[in-house]
Structure 1
Amino acid sequence: MSTTVDKIKEIELEMARTQKNKATSYHLGQLKAKLAKLKRELLTPSGGGGGGGQGFDVARTGVASVGFIGFPSVGKSTLLSLLTGTHSEAAAYEFTTLTTVPGCVVYNGAKIQMLDLPGIIAGAKDGKGRGRQVIAVAKNCHLIFIVLDVLKPLTDKKIIESELEGFGIRINKEPPNIVFKKKEKGGINITSTQPLTHLEPDEIRAVLTEYRINSADIAFRCDATIDDLIDVIEEKNRKYIPVIYALNKIDGITIEELDLLYRIPNSVPISSEKGWNIDDLLQMMWDKLALKRVYTKPKGKQPDYNEPVVLRAANSTVEDFCKAIHKSILDSFKHAIVYGKSVKHQPQRVGLSHVLEDEDVVTIVKK
């Protein structure tokens, strides 16, 4: 009897030997949808086998979490110890870290949790090693550090990206601009604001048929691919997570080799052993997390710049700010006085729906 992994390999082989053209578009669309469903089945098996596993789940602290992913012995544990002061077993042999080791770093006044995860191996998404549990933890992080050895960064980068993508993690991407809404009846209604150069009508029909979708409104607002369409349908199983490539062990290469590493997008060359370039890594972490520091200013007093209220949502409002302090503030809220980049006038009176920017200063005026 064929296993799920066997079925996946059979479909991948069939897709590889099928030339794409209008005559085969329906068949390829059907295969793509079948493949996505099998991968989902593999990653969330029945019987409860897909949980975190002992030692993998940890209590979440701080305003955001950063997971360390990489092959064994690339320096994840040393990097965690350097950033947080947390001892994570490090040695010159593989699989030193066998559980999730948490630590915390305070940067720009924000407490950020760091999670050193066990090293993964190729085939993790197919259940090899402890890869499924490792990536399941990473999938719930707000940012991932992919730690790579500078002597083979591109080779390992490609493998790890494939493992994460296979687990439904979309790296440094935004969700496709497709509005998908199922209906009880009325058939399939497809609209597009621009030509679809990567997607044939037959492919769309094949995907919808495979998912047994008979009635839906689909509005394409981008030049989407078939993978984009499947990602929207499989929305609950997809996570869009920013990634930074920490290119470790630069203390062992030449200046010329270092110049080449700087050409890799979203990367920071570092040495966790020597502590080189760690400031650049933390600054990129801050930029990717897009956190907002909002300072409190009690009426008639100076702003408190020592302990900002840190907000994570991109469109965080005064209401979010109030809730972050204590939700009871909303009961007596009258208006807020804001200084900073989010207002035209300094200061400016605003309401609960006003969207705040990083380093705004806020005074809450009560009824």
Structure 2
Amino acid sequence: MKHIISACFFLFSLSVFAQKVTVTVDKTVTLKDFFKQIENQTDFKFAFTGQIDSSQKYFTKKNTYNNIEVKDLINELNKSSLVQFSIVGNNIFVKHKTTKGNKKTNKLTGQVLDESREPVIGANVFIKETSTGATTDKNGMYSLELDNGNYTVQISYVGLRNKEKQITISDDTRINFNMDEDSHELDMVVVTSSKAVDVRNTQMSVNKLSMAEIKRLPTAMGEPDPLKSLLTLPGVTNAGEASSGFNVRGGAADQNLILLDGAPVYGDSHMFGFFSIFNADVVSGLELYKGGIPSKFGGRVSSVLDVSQQTGDLNDYKVNGGIGLISSRLLVQGPLKKDVGSFIIAGRASYA
């Protein structure tokens, strides 16, 4: 009885190995597709560990095997595929192939060139599956170490179109890449200015300040001073710590002409130069000519300062006043005759 069972098992094994199949494999066939071809034609089942990804492509050559026994097919595939097949009973086991001398990695080398066949220096060579990469040297050469398998190589460089290629590594491999110029045409941009330009005015080196601008500037003890505001303009410096005078472009303080509504002013300060004589409540604005002074002012070596005063209100009577840390002030204005004439009276007194 024992001999009969052994004979039956031997005959069963022969019948399993004698099963013939017709199979086509190439670089586009995944392990899963290959398993289906075999399992649909035979009783064999495939087994593999988690290290094998059945959705990947492990075949390196295109071959069609017609009416071939399974064991012969396995022997042929073991010569050209990136995995190792082995038959145990009715099962086919799949594992990663170990190369001669226990070689685990292969060298991927090559050169990156542009359209003119010049080497691309500093191009990024990136392997998507392993998240590793390299940078090309001065000759456009790169070098990477990879295990056997299928990989996606991505090449990128500023100004050149990105390149991507699917490769299969089973031995030391050299692959060159040619990159094309990547040009992007920008939309036209029109830059305009909203500031009105008075092309009729040829006057140069003139600075204008309104009283509203002067009051926005930092002041000493809260008292706005038209003369002190000039120090914020380019080319204007203080004549001294205890003086309200000013120097323009290196000139002396007495080389400046100061006008109040066209009338010359010879003493421009109070309290030893701590205050200027101009009451900020009645000043409407000022103009400082630092060069090219018009002939109507008579000329000065350094500059001409033209201070303009306000006019009284033609419609309503108004009273303004204020008490500061070092001075007090009062302003009264109104119409003499409505819409015809007006008056304005202002005074300022210091506590010194």
Fold shared by both chains (TM-score > 0.5): no
More helix per residue: 1 or 2?
1
TM (norm. structure 2) is 0.21
Q: Where is the strand percentage greater, Structure 1 or Structure 2? A: 2
The structure having more radius of gyration, on CA atoms, is 2
Using CA pairs below 8 Å that are at least 6 residues apart, which structure has the higher relative contact order?
A: 1
